[in-house]
Structure 1
């Protein structure tokens, strides 16, 4: 299951859910990267998935603490800041355009881009609007486009909730057989 379209930091967090992990294999992660091709520089080689998982966990801790009005833990902040430091962005004039380039290896460059997206979310006004999915047992986060949105995906969790409600309503009203 690949859900994309939220701010990049939330899409990173949503690579892990109750029954799955898009960072569980290189193939799944490449599919996620392909879905993010308009927002991330595609890595030209394999990326260290353990490093991406570590950053994802740090971003999750930062987002959870910040959403609750607290200060993110120092180790999580340190992980995000290290990702930023290892591959800082610099602008380069390539006439007539200005390109953004990064030093570092392929993993460091990707981590820096993801960490920048996390910093943008954590320090921007959108953080206060981030919601958790109302679907039972769903851990995905989203930024609602309208105030009534309750699910990560109306087609996934929203549909599950509606089907369960329908099932409960119709089974509750069904007559039960009485033993004679």
Structure 2
């Protein structure tokens, strides 16, 4: 019997614990020389919405205009600015007026609408799929910035990672955005260092 086909890996990273934090990750390695824009085209934005939005698989998400893409990226940076301020001594009030306006405007749009189907399941629809998900993101960012959960937001300890995530572990000592990526890389790096040190010590004592 042939092996079942392996499903393709998701295009975008998930698992940050809040959709606003997953959204922030679409600018990889923010603030470094290796920063990479994942939402570089309208098609990339629709792919992100299709993957992380609440819509059923196969939902057609129309590609937005370039100006919409620019606004979405501006809202993403406003999310980062707000959460950075909220984690500082200034708190959420430290968010600049322009960024606050962008977030409030995005949050005011209609979010995805839940619809109860005949089989008892709930699906989501929206006249503007991209704008509706952006409303969810902005509302999530505003809620996170003003809630006790903000104390559980961490920056990944990975050497080549700048992603933020919500630490939901009971002891509150999670270090990596993902054990499958940064966590495993850190463990492999530690093992190599220890192995090299032990090998070097053995050669010296030989």
Shorter-chain TM band: 0.7 to 0.9
Distance 1:132 1:175 in 2: 34
What is the TM-score when the length of structure 2 is the normalising length?
Answer: 0.69
Alignment of 1:67-146 (within 5 A): 67-70=87-90, 71-85=94-108, 87-88=109-110, 107-146=130-169
- Give the deviation of 1:30 after TM superposition: 3.1
Other-structure match for 1:36: 52
Give the equivalent residue in structure 2 for 1:11: 22
Q: What is residue 50 of structure 1 aligned with on the other side?
A: 70
Residues 46-71 of structure 1, C-alpha deviations (whole Å, 9 max, x = no match): 23221111000000010011012322
Aligned mate of 1:153, from 161, 178, 187: 178
TM-score (norm 1): 0.78
- Seen in structure 2, the aligned counterparts of structure 1 residues 167 and 101 have a Cα distance that, compared at 3 Å, is closer
Distance 1:108 1:3 in 2: 20
Aligned length: 176
- Partners of 1:131 and 1:142 within 8 A in 2: yes
User: 2: CA distance between counterparts of 1:150 and 1:119?
Assistant: 24
CA contact (8 A) 1:131 1:143 kept: yes
What is aligned with 2:3?
Answer: none
Alpha-carbon distance between aligned partners in 2 of 1:138 and 1:60, rounded to the nearest angstrom: 16
Partners of 2:101 and 2:53 in 1: how far apart?
Answer: 27
Instruction: Give the unaligned 5+ runs of structure 2.
Output: 1-10, 30-34, 117-123
